[in-house]
């Protein structure tokens, strides 16, 4: 059996983990790695700098290389190099969630045209196995709902805000110092990272292409420590939840936003940088997979699994890994957020006037919104009342309309409730 040759694009955190771990296997070998700076210090024992290059096309144009591994992230130049590698006859392993969400259709159509396999287990939840199980052992299931925590940075921040009672700003600074958050944390804290991941995951689970541009996204930057405290008192935890569901008509609702999760649920106890994915379907029922969603070796675990799966197929078949290929072309009919139905937590600061609670109740009633609870907690020095409202299930458009009529009130927080 010949040794399968691999070229890799990127040698950062994930790439380093792949390189270190793959040396344990005799049937595969990384023969060339494209990097930005060959002389950059790297914590990799035994790295032969002669395999490093700054020109990705030396990998792409090398006919002896079988698998092209991309671990740099972003759409460009990753798409340029991956598409060129496919045309040059190479199979692809990628951890690139943004590329998959934005260019998935083009990527898989190109791969099929050239009879190449694209595997991407690491792109959704780091070391948690999701794509392979969905496409193989769970292939006979009709998945109808996904509720997931897919971003370790935001989960760390929310956990620390909850446990320590600290502000978002203070915890973000700490997360940056510990290396859990980037210098520019926008991709994580504004929900983009989780949005890219749930787009691809729901596309696979539902067998329909989900348009990332139609996925509702809301980050955690507006959350306050007071919200965490209030949620605890009401029997909830606040998590950034990536949610996807399909109704009986086959329409798909995909979104990412802060959510009040019941404290007695498993998802409420997924803390710090841990990720978790809960799925509901038939015949499996409910299943939850949890583990490290990022990091050098957890993510490398998924990348290496994909590499070994492809390597085992090379030279053995003319059409490798048919079950792992894209097998759908239907575009999902997506439900706009305004047409969704949810429960809501609303934190309100209102003038301490007679009848203010009655006014809130009347406005909600006129918008077909039933209230589960409405609580006033004391009066501030400036004669304003702090009011917390929990609604029953109602339409998003109706809750937004009701809020627009609360002109004398300040809406501190509006958070959807699981």
Is 359 among the residues known to form the active site? no
Cβ–Cβ under 8 Å, residues 293 and 8: no
> Quick check: helix, strand or coil at residue 271?
coil
* 401/363 Cα distance (integer angstroms): 9
- The answer to whether residues 92 and 82 touch, using CB atoms and an 8 Å cutoff, is yes
Alpha helices for 224-325 (secondary structure H)? 225-234, 296-313
Question: β-strand 4-9 against 67-70: which pairing, if any?
Answer: parallel
For residue 285, the tally of other CB atoms under 10 A from its CB is 9
Give the span between the Cα atoms of 341 and 343, in whole angstroms. Answer: 7
Peptide bond just before 117 cis, omega within 30 deg: no
Catalytic site residue from 197, 208, 237, 239? 197
SS3 track for 369-394? CCEEEEEEEEECCCCEEEEEEEECCE
Please state the φ and ψ torsions of residue 318, each to the nearest 5 degrees.
-85, -10
Helix residue spans in 97-147 (DSSP H): 97-113, 122-125, 131-135
Asked if 56 and 78 touch (Cβ cutoff 8 Å), the reply is no
| Residues 383, 360: Cα–Cα separation, whole Å | 18
Hey, which residues are catalytic here?
197
């Amino acid at each position: 059996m010949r040794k399968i040759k691999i070229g890799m694009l990127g040698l950062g955190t994930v790439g380093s983990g792949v390189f270190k771990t793959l040396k344990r296997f005799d049937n595969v070998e990384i023969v060339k790695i494209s990097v930005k700076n060959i002389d950059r210090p790297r914590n990799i024992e035994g790295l032969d700098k002669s395999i490093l290059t700054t020109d990705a096309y030396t990998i792409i144009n090398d006919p002896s290389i079988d698998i092209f591994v991309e671990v740099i992230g972003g759409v460009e130049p990753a798409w340029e190099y991956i598409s060129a590698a496919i045309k040059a006859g190479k199979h692809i392993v990628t951890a690139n969630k943004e590329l998959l969400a934005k260019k998935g259709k083009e990527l898989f159509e190109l791969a099929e045209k050239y009879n190449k396999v694209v595997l991407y287990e690491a792109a959704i939840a780091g070391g948690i196995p999701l794509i392979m199980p969905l496409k193989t052992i769970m292939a006979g299931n009709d998945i109808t709902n996904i509720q997931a925590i897919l971003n370790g940075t935001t989960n760390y921040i929310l956990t620390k805000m909850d446990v320590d009672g600290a502000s978002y700003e203070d915890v973000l600074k700490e997360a940056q110092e510990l290396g859990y958050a980037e210098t520019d944390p926008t991709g994580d804290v504004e929900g983009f990272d989780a949005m890219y991941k749930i787009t691809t995951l729901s596309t696979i689970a539902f067998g329909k292409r989900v348009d990332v541009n139609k996925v509702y996204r809301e980050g955690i930057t507006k959350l306050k420590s007071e919200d965490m405290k209030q949620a605890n008192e009401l029997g909830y935890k606040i998590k950034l939840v990536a949610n996807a569901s399909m109704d009986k008509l086959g329409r798909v609702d995909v979104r990412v936003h802060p959510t009040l999760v019941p404290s007695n649920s498993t998802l409420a106890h997924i803390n710090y940088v841990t990720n978790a994915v809960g799925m509901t379907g038939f015949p499996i029922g409910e299943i939850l997979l949890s583990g490290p969603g990022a990091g050098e070796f957890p993510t490398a675990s998924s990348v290496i699994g994909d590499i070994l799966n492809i390597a085992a197929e090379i030279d053995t078949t003319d059409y490798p890994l048919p079950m792992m290929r894209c097998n759908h072309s239907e575009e999902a009919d997506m439900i706009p957020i305004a047409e969704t139905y949810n429960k809501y937590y609303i934190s309100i600061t209102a003038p301490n006037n007679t009848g203010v609670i009655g006014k809130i109740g009347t406005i909600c009633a006129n918008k077909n919104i039933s209230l589960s609870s409405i609580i006033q907690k004391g009066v501030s020095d400036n004669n304003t009342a702090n009011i917390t409202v929990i609604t029953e299930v109602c339409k998003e458009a109706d809750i937004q309309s009701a809020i627009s009529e609360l002109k004398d009130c300040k809406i501190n927080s509006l958070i959807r409730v699981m």
